[in-house]
Homo-oligomer: A and B are copies of this chain.
């Protein structure tokens, strides 16, 4: 699930990205990226250590703080969930893709959960596209879907950056149940995890303002503690943006991922009646279908052409079982 970006390009665009499967620490990942980037192969998946595509981990065009944060999140998620995940099986032309003129580039990484895991799949992506109006748009996403062994929330972080001084951030543990009729779920995953405190930390930064997605459906998908904000460092420029990501957004994102890993995944599955599982699966599938329909089906072809878009969407649909 991702933000729509109608407001940034005259055609909507969107993609979901998913992280790799490193068993290394964050710093080791960074070292490996630096060393592997010289090989510049788009299919540099190393089966020995199940390392993700180096192209995915490049996170090109991002500032240092922004890239480091994404690498940290990917590393933490993949390290913690390493025993849950199957290796990536994406072909090279999905791990990295571009349009004919190379003005739009993207990378996708998907890993499905193994048989005993609570993880359905994790997806990471980045898209970089030069805009006809000048400038460029960068979208970076890391998201994780769980299966019906648990009803715990998903994890989502998405950056949508239209200039070095301006971005939109979506950071949330989107619920998998209707919170209105499940107040205990609200209590367990949102009140007792103190997610509201994380949201408030960012609220106090001058350059950070609430952001309301233009898509009503996306608003519905998010939790009541979702962080949906713009960061606008016009006065302080790119240096201030770096500070904000490093000192404010980064710690909150890392804390929220820790909360998700510790209290949504590591706590194990939950006993559910068969009918409850059926409802949960129906809801999960519908969300995935709407995600593809809203965010990808209309926008990817415009950015990458029909062939590339079709290939990428099919890979996501396969991982989504839809």
Contact = CB atoms under 8 A, between A and B. Distances in A.
A178 B287 CA distance: 12
Interface string A230-274: 000000000000000000000000000000000000000000000
B180 A287 contact: yes
A318 interface: no
What 4 A-B pairs are tightest by C-beta distance, nearest first?
A219-B224, A178-B178, A179-B220, A216-B224
A183 interface: yes
Given A190-B216, A216-B190, A216-B191, A180 B178 contact: yes
Best-buried of A181, A221, A282, A283 by chain B (most CB within 10 Å)? A181
Nearest to A180: B220
B282 A180 contact: no
Interface residues of A, number: 23
A186 interface: yes
A35 B166 CA distance: 59
B225 A216 contact: yes
Nearest to A176: B180
Contacts of A290: 183
A198 B210 CA distance: 18
Contacts of A286: 180-181, 183
Best-buried of A190, A217, A221, A287 by chain B (most CB within 10 Å)? A217
